[in-house]
Every structure is written in C-alpha cells, then in structure tokens.
Amino acid sequence: MRRTAFLVLLFVVPPAAAQPRPVTPADYAGVATANEVAVSPDGTQVAYTVATWDETADNRRTDLWVTTTDGKGTPRRLTSGRANDRHPKWAADGSAVYVVRNVKEKDAKVPPRDGSSQVWRVGVNDKAASAALTTVKGGVTGYDLAAAAGYVFYTADDEVTDPDDFLKLRERYPRIEYGHGKRKVSVLYRVPTSEGDVLTIHAGKRYIREFAVTTDGKRVAMITAPDDTVIRWEGDSRVDVWEAGKVTVTDQAWKKSASSPWPWLEGLAWNPSGNRLAYGTIFDAYPAEVVVCDHDGGNWAAGKVKRDGWQVRGYGSPLAWRSDAVLGLLTDDQARVGFAEYDTTKQTTDRQPLDGVTYGFAYVPGGSGRRVAILGTPQSLGELWYFGGPGARTGISDLNPQAKDWRLPSVERVTWTAPDGTKVGGALELPPDYKKGSRKLPLVVAIHGGPTTSSTAALQFDPHNGRLYFAAAGYAVLAPNYRGSTGYGDKFTTNLIGRENDLDVKDILAGIRHLIDAGIADPDRVAVMGWSNGGYLTNCLISLADSPVRVRAASSGAGILDTVAEWGFNDEPAYPRVFKKGLPWEQPDLYRRTSPTYQLGNVKTPTLIHVGEKDDRCPPGHSRMLYRALRENLSVPTQLCVYPGEPHGLGKLSHRRAKMEWDLAWFNRYLRADR
C-alpha cells in the first residue's frame, strides 16, 4: 500500500472581489480540509471538522463547526483552540457533540490540557457546557459514543511482556532496542456521559486498532491484532465482539476465499438494532471487499457483499447503515467516487454514480435515506451537500469562496488504449481558457500511489502529485489510472500482479502518446512525477531503456528503487510478497525485474528527489541510493530534498510549499513552460 491520502476540501474567508488570477503555491497556506460529517438526531444540523494551516506553528489542526441541513443557517464554529478536533458524534438530545481533542495550555502538565488526546463534550447550545470526559495519562487511542445508553467507550495503551528463555537477559539490559519481547496492547474502558466512575470493560492481550459500539452500549466490535505494528495489522487482524463481559471472535471463514492472506480491516459499522455488523477488507493488488456479520445464536456468521462487477472505494472510506438491512458505501468508478446502497436481504445494490468524488457521508437518522455528503466535482472544490431524495440534492455550504478569485483549470476524464488493447483511463487537467488544438502544452504526468487506488477527476490541490497548481501554471496534467488501479474492473486491478515495471509503465506511456497524438502535449516537453508508488513508477520511467517517450524532467517522491530492500526495510512487507508472488529467495528474478536499481545506467533525465526523513513506508535509503547514482556515478542533474522529521506524507506547511516550489522551478528549468 504505497499510498498517501489527502483530502483537498477548502474553507477560507473570502477576500474582496477581484479579477480571477492564477493559483500559485502561496495559495496553499489558505487551504483547509473538511474531514468528517455527523448529522444530528433530529436531522436538522450537521457537525463537521475543518482543518486549517497555521504558518507560525507550521502545522494543520482541526476545529469543530455546525450548520443546518436545509442550507439556510449560518455555519457556526464551536471550537477555536486548534485542538485537532476529530470523530464528531452527537449526544442523544442534540445538545452537544463529542470529539477527541488535543487541548494544550501553557504550563499544563496533566490531562486534559497537556496536549494529549482526550474525549470532550462540546456544547451546541445553552443546554450543554463543554467539558472533558477523560483525563487519561498519555491520552486515549480511540473512542465511540453509545448515545442512547449515555456512555463513552475509549481505549488506552498498555504493554505486555512475552516470557521466554531470554526474558531476564532483556530486563538486565533494558536500553537495547529488541526486535520482540514486549508488545503494545489496548484496554477498553467505559465512562458515563454524565457523572460516574470509569469502568474497565476489556483488557485482552491484543491491540485494538478500531472499535464501534452499538447505540445501546451492549455490544462492542473491535478490530484487534497481536500488537500495534502494521506488519501485524495486515493478515493478523480480526474482528471480535464484546458482549456482557464475553468476547467472541467473529466468523473468519471468509478469509479462506479471500484474494490475499494479508487484508487490512477497517470501517466498523453497526446497524441501528445492533444485530448486524459491517467492515471493509482492503488488499494490496486486489479489489476491496465489504464483510457483513449477522448475529446467529451467539455466533457472528460472516458473508461478503455481492459486488457484480463494481468496486468498493477502500482506504478509509466510510460505511454506514441506512436501516437494519441497507448499508451505504462508496464505489470506485473510472476516476469517480460514487455512492451505493446494498440491501443485505435482497443482496442487490442501488448504485448512484456521481460526476466527481464523494469524500464522506453521514445518514440522517430514521431510515429515510437522506444524507449529507462531502462532494467534489470537476468544476468545483468540495462542498457539503444535502441529499433529500432520488435526484434531489442541495448545496448547504460555501466552503471555497476563494475559488471565485482563481482562474481554475478544467478537469475531465480521459481514456486511451494500452499496447495490449486494454482500455485505460485517468484524469486530465488543462490550463484555464485552453482550447484543444490551439497549441501544444508541456505535460506533467502525475502518478498516484497505492497502487490499489485511483486518481479522480475532481478539482484537487495536491502538493504531493502536482494537481491544480501545475495546470494553473500552464501545464497539461495527466493523472493516469494505470494497470493495478481501481475503478476499471477486477481484472484491470489484478493484472499488475507479477507485472510491475511492465504493464503499469506501458499504460502510462500509452497515455502520454495519446495526448501527443491529440495535439495537446508537446513531445519535447514531458515530465513525470509521483509520490510513494507514484515515485516508484517515476523511477521506473526514467530508467527505462529505449523509451518511446523522452522524459525531460522528473520529480521522484518517496519512491522505491530496490524491491528486495522494500521487502526488508519498509513497515508492510506483505506488499512485495503479493505483487512479486513470493519472497525474494522464492522469486529472485521477479524482484530484480521490478527494481529500477539495475536499469539506472539508462537514466539521463534531470531528476528532483523528495523524501521524509522518518518515512517507514518507503524508507529514505531508496532516495539516497537514487541520488548517489545520478550525482556521483552518472552525472545526471539532480537534487535530493530530505524533509526533517517527516513520515511518509509531508505534514508541515513549509515542507509542502517547498516541494511545490521546487517542482515548479525544476520543471520550468528543464521544460521551459513559457516557450
């Protein structure tokens, strides 16, 4: 899962009216992100979180907002402390919203104001005062609200020691970093939303990555794994259900027919009656699935949602029950993310494709099917929309007024044919006011990560992959959904197994040729860029011998260079095992063929290299190896940018802005965009 996901929904105060102007990296500091939505019990209000940048602190934090679902109310900001509010959930009477917050007050040394993650109640009106419900040392790691029962459930970390013959020796030298011996696990607690004592609900010797509570508080579903590491999450996780002090492991028989033995489990959701449970199973190289568990005499029988050719949008997409039998979910459909409802009784799906991207949604309680969704389109950045019935939707926000002063690029879906006859697609951004055929444009190929996900045809401001600001600067931008991507059928997704640095590269090159033949792209001014798996494919493209397209400039972000090193050093070693169909000593030729390392002598492309110093997913050694080869051995123009303290995705505003400015300067230098 070489992927970094970023929502790109904006919320800023509108400036004075002005003539539309180009978008530049400087505008990114005003960008905010709408993350989550939750509808009030009476359906009249929606709570949502909005993240904003702080240039002084050089970070992004979220605050809690509320507005009316009819679109007639004025949005109200409920919190203003930049405390990273998240996971909003309404109190049963609609008087308050519960969130996790990181409140930090000067000189505070103890929770809840020491900056640790704690559960807070935030009053929406005069009926409820804002207050912290937890004061856990070190903070909570998760929470859920049993609104009807009046309880908050939360988890906190604990540690267990696994005894073996070397336990005493490890204890004698505790400062050494050991590979194993101690594990991080979780304890589940319950606290009343009014006054009352904290109760320990479950203290098993497993780590709880996610949990969900029925509204009456009688059942808790938990995604658990032996510890908190990613390597244990993929393949060793399962779903347990706590009820009346007893924990039952749900039916795991679905794993016997699963596409891969290394699924990632996510998105737990109970139906209103608490007798049916859904969750997502995400795979590298295979389409995501949804599992539904039904209560059956004390057991939890599991079955998969019948897909009939369509695909589930994975990687954090929400699941929510409209009623006891109907489940809402998101679909991946040819560079679009739509909405669908699955009837578990009839085993039928009502798909509702949308032109754009649904980032998230929440139902209005009561089973009517009405919902609020965050929706972005090719013509507009994301907004909150109220869906009141079939074909009826109303915009209830104006999150992006600054876009009225921007000269925005056009965004459309595009398709082409690969050398083997397969239809391939993606998103195409073109500069404002550009007319096809009027002139040939410099082309940036913006390659998504994953690869088991997709680029979408909606307006996005993405520093990692060049979306929006390159087209605003006069470039055409192609975001290809190469083989292995989702949204184009199961075979299209799984074809990449054993064919990395092959089918994916050919699909991308065919997309470039398509735009050249259409008179849109200038064949002498082609650049490639990407992050994570997009960085890997950038490395593949620049090292390709006898390429049918000359790549004049490249930006490799967090890109893998050697797939054996990927298996050995990154935090999810199942990824190369799936795509290479085995371990390095079982498939040595395939690991070699998929590694750009052995073709680096072909590189002539000036290449800019970005990576986070603390990246565990695509460790910086790959980027340093690429830099050494280009700089010291091949004399190819290059620059290495290592961002201090950053993990797999850049989190600081200054780092994101630096990357955008470096990419623009690099491509302008080698493609001469003003020519």
Q: At 453, which CATH number? A: 3.40.50.1820
Domain boundary among 366, 398, 430: 398
Share of residues in the chain with pLDDT > 90 (%): 89
User: Which pLDDT band, with edges at 50, 70 and 90, does 37 fall under?
Assistant: very high
Does some domain include residue 473? yes
- Per-residue model confidence as pLDDT tens digits over 289-306: 999 999 988 789 999 999
Same domain, 390 and 538: no
Q: Which residues are registered as beta bridge partners of 130? A: none
Does some domain include residue 22? no
- The DSSP output letter for 656 is H
Same domain, 114 and 217: yes
pLDDT at 362: 98
Which domain CATH number covers 194? Answer: 2.130.10.120
Does some domain include residue 586? yes
Count of the separate structural domains present in the chain: 2
Q: Does the global pTM surpass 0.85?
A: yes
Structural contact between residues 482 and 492, judged by C-beta atoms closer than 8 angstroms: no
pLDDT at 606: 99
Does some domain include residue 44? yes
Domain boundary among 382, 398, 414: 398
Same domain, 348 and 446: no
Residues 651, 653, 659, 664: is their CA dihedral positive or negative? positive
Nearest to 531 by CA among 611, 460, 631, 588: 611
Residues in Cβ contact with 170 at an 8 Å cutoff, skipping those fewer than 6 apart: 176, 178, 181
In order of 311, 532, 652, the CA distances from 340 in angstroms are 10, 30, 35
Same domain, 508 and 360: no
Same domain, 239 and 289: yes
Same domain, 370 and 410: no
Structural contact between residues 209 and 268, judged by C-beta atoms closer than 8 angstroms: no
pLDDT at 19: 79
Pairing of strands 118-123, 96-101: antiparallel
Q: How far apart are CA 624 and CA 443, in angstroms?
A: 27
Does some domain include residue 12? no
Does some domain include residue 198? yes
pLDDT at 15: 46
Same domain, 365 and 450: no
Residues in Cβ contact with 202 at an 8 Å cutoff, skipping those fewer than 6 apart: 187, 188, 220, 222, 242, 247
Same domain, 426 and 494: yes
Does some domain include residue 429? yes
Same domain, 538 and 647: yes
Q: What is the mean pLDDT of residues 203-209?
A: 97
Phi, psi (deg, nearest 5) at residue 511: -65, -40
Same domain, 636 and 583: yes
With 0-12 / 13-18 / 19 or more C-beta atoms within 10 angstroms meaning exposed / middle / buried, residue 273 is: middle
Domain boundary among 398, 433, 463: 398
pLDDT at 128: 77
Does some domain include residue 3? no
Structural domain harbouring 228:
33-398
Nearest to 75 by CA among 47, 54, 52: 47
Nearest to 181 by CA among 197, 203, 196, 166: 166
User: Which pLDDT band, with edges at 50, 70 and 90, does 17 fall under?
Assistant: low
pLDDT at 674 over 70: no
Q: Is the peptide bond before 606 cis (omega within 30 degrees of 0)?
A: no
pLDDT at 81: 84
pLDDT at 12 over 50: no
Q: What is the mean pLDDT of residues 3-10?
A: 43
